[in-house]
Amino acid sequence: MQHAVYICNMKTLFVGVAGGTGSGKSTFTQNLKQQFGDTITVILYDNYYKDQSAVPPEDRDKINYDCPDALDTDLLIEHIHLLKEGKCIQCPVYDFTTHTRKAETIEVRPNKIVVIEGILAFHEKELRDTFDLKIYVDSDADERILRRIMRDIQDRGRQIGDIALQYITTVKPMHLLYVEPTKAYADIIIRGGLNPTALDVIQAKLKFYLDSQE
């Protein structure tokens, strides 16, 4: 596949944002996006879940989506390297209601700041080594499960019984096994996505970076 070169000779700052499900990662990255606008591009690691269209629909909910094997990390790493080279990528779009990838993709162009957000963003060394800044969003388990319940019901059309079963059988144990330990790789750990002080500090750091590129 040909990848068009969009911007040359531009140094991009790659920021990884990790943390447990419902920790406030999306709220945090959305606040950054609102502050810096078009100078920031956000890539969701969730869109790189492997397509499950070959699995019967009734069996797709039984898959463990909270372990590293559920994600196409190699493709994300490839896309990050292409962006580093000043090339556009075609980012996949994942449909959580069917556990399949949509036919359409989203073109992502290189930018001054690229944020990659996902629960397992720091798990694989090759991926976390692509980040210039690593931020871990920490939050209490009870807050995380409440946010996940609200999100899965409102955005993904799921039933609370299924959400609870998945949380007990895979989400919680996988968080303890794969997500929580990656806090050790973070450059900055913040408490929740709605943390004005932490947001101000990180915004100041990103603004300093942008000003240095002018």
d(CA 114, CA 45): 12
Report yes or no: 70 and 49 within 8 Å, Cβ to Cβ: yes
Q: What is the mean pLDDT of the chain?
A: 89
Give which of 109, 105, 117, 115 is closest to 40, Cα–Cα.
Answer: 115
Half-sphere exposure of 127 (CA within 13 A, CB side): 25
Q: Which amino acid is at 176?
A: L
Q: Which amino acid is at 121?
A: A
d(CA 140, CA 150): 16
Q: Give tens-digit pLDDT for 140-199.
A: 777 777 777 777 787 777 788 777 777 778 888 898 999 999 999 999 999 877 788 999
Domains and CATH numbers, the chain: 13-212 (3.40.50.300)
d(CA 209, CA 112): 9
Q: Give tens-digit pLDDT for 110-155.
A: 999 999 999 999 999 999 999 999 999 998 777 777 777 777 787 7
**Bridge partners, residue 44, by sequence:** 117
Q: Give tens-digit pLDDT for 40-65.
A: 999 999 999 999 999 999 999 889 99
User: Quick one: pLDDT at residue 159?
Assistant: 80
Q: In 11-44, which positions are buried (b, 16+ CB within 10 angstroms) versus exposed (e)? A: ebbbbbbbbbbbbbbbebbebbbeebeeebbbbb
Report yes or no: 132 and 34 within 8 Å, Cβ to Cβ: no
The pTM for the full model equals 0.87
Q: Give tens-digit pLDDT for 85-100.
A: 999 999 999 998 899 9
Higher pLDDT, 140 or 101: 101
